[in-house]
Amino acid sequence: MLEIRNLHVSIGDRPILAGIDLDVKSGEVHAIMGPNGSGKSTLAQVLAGREGYAVTAGSVRYLEQDLLALAPEQRACAGIFLAFQYPLEIPGVANVQLLRSALNSVRRQRGESELDAMDFLDTVKSKLALLDMDESFLYRAVNEGFSGGEKKRNEILQMAVLEPRLAILDETDSGLDIDALKTVASGVNALKDPERAVILVTHYQRLLNYIVPDRVHVLANGRIVRSGDASLALELEDKGYGWLTPDTHEEARP
Partner 1 sequence: MSQPEVSHPDARNAELRSRIADEYRWGFVTDIEQEVVPEGLSEAVIRLISKKKNEPDFMLEWRLQAYRHWLTLTAPTWSSVHYPAIDYQAIHYYAAPKSGAQPKDLSEVDPELLRTYEKLGIPLQEREALAGVAVDAVFDSVSVATTFKDKLESLGIIFCSFSEALREHPDLVRQYLGSVVPYTDNYFATLNSAVFTDGSFVYVPKGMRCPMELSTYFRINARNSGQFERTLIIADEGATVSYLEGCTAPMRDENQLHAAVVELVALKDARIKYSTVQNWYPGDAEGRGGIYNFVTKRGDCRGDRAHISWTQVETGSAITWKYPSCILRGDDSAGEFYSVALTNHRQQADTGTKMIHIGRNTRSTIVSKGISAGFGSNAYRGLVKVLPSAANARNYTQCDSLLMSDHCAAHTFPYIEVKNPSATVEHEATTSKIGDDQLFYLRSRGLSEEDAVNLIVNGFCREVFKELPMEFAVEAQKLLAVSLEGAIG
Ligand X SMILES: Nc1ncnc2c1ncn2[C@@H]1O[C@H](COP(=O)(O)OP(=O)(O)OP(=O)(O)O)[C@@H](O)[C@H]1O
Interface with Mg ion (CB under 5 A): 40-41, 85
Residue 100 is a binding residue for ligand X (CB under 6 A): no
65 near partner 1 (CB under 8 A): no
Q: C-beta of 41: minimal distance to partner 1 in Å? A: 13
Q: Which of 11, 68, 141, 230 binds ligand X (CB under 6 A)?
A: 11
DSSP E strand boundaries for the chain = 2-11, 14-24, 29-33, 53-62, 65-66, 80-83, 90-94, 141-142, 166-170, 197-201, 215-220, 223-228
Window contacting partner 1 (CB under 8 A); options: 3-11, 27-35, 102-110, 187-195: 102-110
Q: How many residues bind ligand X (CB under 6 A)?
A: 12
Q: How far is CA 132 from the centre of its chain?
A: 21
Least separation in angstroms between CB 201 and partner 1: 15
38 binds, among partner 1, ligand X, Mg ion, none (CB under 5 to 8 A by kind): ligand X
CB of 172 to Mg ion, least distance (A): 11
Rounded CA separation 160/127 (Å)? 6
199 binds partner 1 per the rule CB under 8 A? no
Give the separation between CA 175 and CA 251, rounded to whole angstroms: 30
Q: Which strand (E) or helix (H) includes residue 208?
A: helix 205-210
- Contact by Cβ (8 Å): 176, 207: no
Instruction: Scan residues 26-45 and list those touching ligand X (CB under 6 A).
Output: 34, 36-42
Q: How far is the CB of 85 from partner 1 (least distance, A)?
A: 12
Nearest residue to 188 (alpha-carbon basis) of 81, 59, 65? 81
Residues contributing to the site for ligand X (CB under 6 A): 11-12, 16, 34, 36-42, 85
